[in-house]
Amino acid sequence: MIRIVVNGAGGKMGREVVKAVAADPELELAGAVDPSHKGEDAGILAGTERNGVTVGGSLQTVLEETHPQVVVDFTSPSVIFDNAAAVMEKGLSMVIGTTGLTEKQRTLLQEISSRTGANALIAPNFSLGAVLMMEAAEKISAYLPNAEIIELHHNHKYDAPSGTSRLTAEKMGAARKQEPCEDRTAESIPGARGAVVEGIRIHSVRLPGYVAHQEVLFGGEGEILTIRHDSLDRKSFMPGVVLACKKVLTVPGVTYGLENYL
């Protein structure tokens, strides 16, 4: 049994993680953290039956009381680096679903990992379908270099563009074997053409009703190719989270992207 602490247990993703961990015979929910729900039963908070795990208000305190092997973090970009550094300094491994970590911060976490032996997976997306979509986009970019990304999420998402779209663009940019056609469009309003990551334009939509969706559009001479992935429920991320919880203890260092665990 792998002992898991869920940080951000009261959030929409955190509640699903609590349920997924509790339901898996190889994982044990050792603790849960969420200052807004301190003292509540984690099972009741997640919408299932009482499980006897009391939600703590302090990550530090819960770690000291529960002695987990892995911490799963779905909190906020503003605190994720401090959370990860504190956990990994203790030699504990992490599964990080919170977006917002910069390349420099990932490098700093790798330095901590090298010193303490703690491992980490940083995954912009835990959906297996989304990971396969990114791999497909990477392969297609070698032959159709002209492409743009449209990503659509709920209006409570903290960041834009999404971590998934950024990673997709990075992979696509690196895979291009030729330069895309010149973009001659002038923006009459700055930002109308979206953000640019590795030469790929990303357009972010934030509306109620969406969960997590991404569309990659490729244009060629006389042809258009579109690939799209839709997460219609946060349950779609749970197989990836559970997989990560089981593998993070055995994959050394800091890994970026769930595809590296498949």
Burial of 177 per CB tally in 10 Å (0-12, 13-18, 19+): exposed
Other CB atoms within a 10 A radius of the CB of residue 188 amount to 6
Which H or E element spans position 122?
strand 120-122
Distance CA 162, CA 151 (A): 7
> Which sequence positions are flagged as catalytic?
153, 157
Report cis status (omega within 30 of 0) of the bond before 161: yes
Strand-pairing partners, residue 121, are 95, 255
Sign of the dihedral defined by the CA atoms of residues 240, 245, 249, 252, in that order: positive
Kindly write down the DSSP assignment for every residue of 66-87, as one continuous string: H--SEEEE-S-TTTHHHHHHHH
**Torsion, CA 189, CA 174, CA 230, CA 246, rounded to 10:** -140
Other CB atoms within a 10 A radius of the CB of residue 91 amount to 14
